[in-house]
Amino acid sequence: MLGLGTVGAGVASILSTPEGRHPLVADLQLRRIAVRDLERPRPLNLAPGLLTTCPEAVVDDPAVDIVVEVIGGLEPARSLILRAIAAGKAVVTANKAVIARHGDEIAAAAAEKGVYVLIEAAVGGGIPIIEPLKQSLGGNRIQRVSGIINGTTNYILSRMAAEGAAYGEVLADAQRLGYAEADPAADVEGGDAADKIAILTRLAYGGTVPRPAIPTEGIHQLDARDVDYAARLGFVVKLLAVAQRVGSEPPKPADTTAAGLQLDVRVHPTLVPRGHPLAGVNGVNNAILVEGDPVGQVMFYGPGAGAGPTASAVVADILNIAGIRQATGGGSGTQGGGLDPLLAAGNWRQCSLVDGALTTHRNYVRLRTSDQAGVIGQIGSCFGQAGVSIQSIVQYAGEGSGAAGEASSAEIVVITHEVLEARFRHALDAIEALAEVHQVAACLRTL
């Protein structure tokens, strides 16, 4: 095992207590663990000599059949995974950052050597989602994968909604309680969720989309006011990661054009109608809703992070490999025929990200305006002239006092019907140019 942090300790704990688990757990032997600091006190009762500060010593050890990478980060994790594969060893990893960016390179190396690389723990912690997408749902034409796949931000958003608290306040509390990292950027700016949706996209659609090109917006600029207004209008705000086909037509047999299958993949705070299956997912829990033809909607829900849940997924992957090795009498981590967990993860289609201006969706907009006759009419005209249909428009009290000589201000919240992004942007430009509109204060997508 490479790493003995939260997840690594969870894995070691399962492996050292096989009683009551699948009988194969008792056959697994933790041979070596690479750590950064040998002196650090550890609650686990580990055999002397198990720990080393040299990760290469783990990867190169001929007695090691399966390398479990739980260091996280891009390097040295990527190089160590490739080194393990080159040595003919199976790899289990929880590393979404490496798989999202270097999945093709790793899959190609694994295919060449005929070894397994399993990644169930990389998305959704303890929720089984990788194997279901690769195998159980393989016969479907996937229309959309949408999910809450970052527990930290879901915890923050749940508390903002329940308490009406400001983002910064809840983040500080989450850090104090250990739910958010000291450096929360990867979670709150959406990068972690973007890594995960990149991985799910490849499994669902059989093609890679470039991870850096996925439009990503976090929750760090979200105003408690929008969470409140959303609630009044019957929505909850969630950080959603979404991957969907563009257009509802089945793809032509040849997705062989240069662009291939066009996908809309993105991460952003989203207003979710209160009755939607994802709206009730709260706290650090994750949920992924898969919509496929012919299966319909299937939702996967559970603990998306933490030592126990993530270790549960890692150990399941180890057991899969161990089981296949046992069934095939395989040596040195090779597949030996039979079930092929790599097959469905292969790149079998060309995919590309659609131009954002050509996507359609509903929108929530909050405008700060003067509170005077005709303002709502002008805003309505701007939307109407751009071909944007308004579903609802509501005025809330603004901050101005309306004292003598001072025009009072208003906040106007608009929910649009589904519309082409290009039309919506066109309308917003016109609205921003109105003298009575002081600011487009917030703009969020709506399911």
Q: Contact residues for ligand HSE (CB under 6 A)?
A: 150-152, 187, 192, 304-305
Q: In what order do the strands lie in the sheet with 90-93?
A: 66-69, 90-93, 117-118
Torsion of CA 137, 93, 219, 418, to 10 degrees: -20
SS3 state at 52: strand
Q: Least distance from C-beta 192 to ligand HSE, angstroms?
A: 5
DSSP class per residue in 347-388: --S-EEEPPGGG-EEEEEEEEEEE--TTHHHHHHHHHHHTTP
Q: Which is nearer to ligand HSE, 4 or 305 (CB)?
A: 305
CB of 270 to ligand HSE, least distance (A): 17
**Smallest gap from residue 136 Cβ to ligand HSE (A):** 22
Residue 304 CB, shortest distance to ligand HSE, in Å, is 5
To the nearest whole angstrom, how small is the minimum distance from the Cβ of residue 290 to ligand HSE?
19
Query: How many residues appear in the chain?
Result: 447
**Which letter does DSSP use for residue 73 in this model?**
S
Nearer to ligand HSE, 299 or 430 (CB): 299
**DSSP of 150-214:** -HHHHHHHHHHHHH---HHHHHHHHHHHTSS-SS-HHHHTSHHHHHHHHHHHHHHHSS---GGGS
User: Least distance from C-beta 326 to ligand HSE, angstroms?
Assistant: 30
The CA distances from residue 291 to 60, 137, 202, 339, 358, in Å, are 43, 10, 15, 26, 22
Our CB check for ligand HSE shows the closer of 129 and 375 to be 129
- Per the residue annotation, which of 89, 196, 238, 252 is the catalytic one? 196
7 vs 322, beta carbon nearer ligand HSE: 7
The pair of three-digit structure tokens given for residue 63, joined into one six-digit string: 């007695």
Q: Which residues contact 409 (CB under 8 A, 6 or more apart)?
A: 368, 369, 370, 371, 398, 399, 400, 438
Q: Which is nearer to ligand HSE, 130 or 410 (CB)?
A: 130
Q: 72 or 330, CB closer to ligand HSE?
A: 72
C-alpha–C-alpha distance, residues 12 and 291, integer Å: 36
Does the annotation count 238 as an active-site position? no
3-state class (DSSP) for residue 442? strand
In the complex with ligand HSE, which residue's Cβ is closer, 156 or 365? 156
Question: Judged by CB, which is closer to ligand HSE: 184, or 333?
Answer: 184
392 bridge partner residues: 415
Contact 126, 310 (CB under 8 A): yes
Contacts of 356 (CB under 8 A, 6+ apart): 215, 266, 421
Token pair 């040596």 is found at 331
Give the C-alpha separation, 66 to 91, whole Å.
6
Provide the β-strand partners of residue 368.
411, 439
What is the SS3 assignment for 303? strand
**Least CB distance to ligand HSE at residue 147 (A):** 11
Min CB(411)–ligand HSE separation in Å: 32
Q: Tokens standing for 118?
A: 């399993």
The residues annotated as belonging to the active site are 196
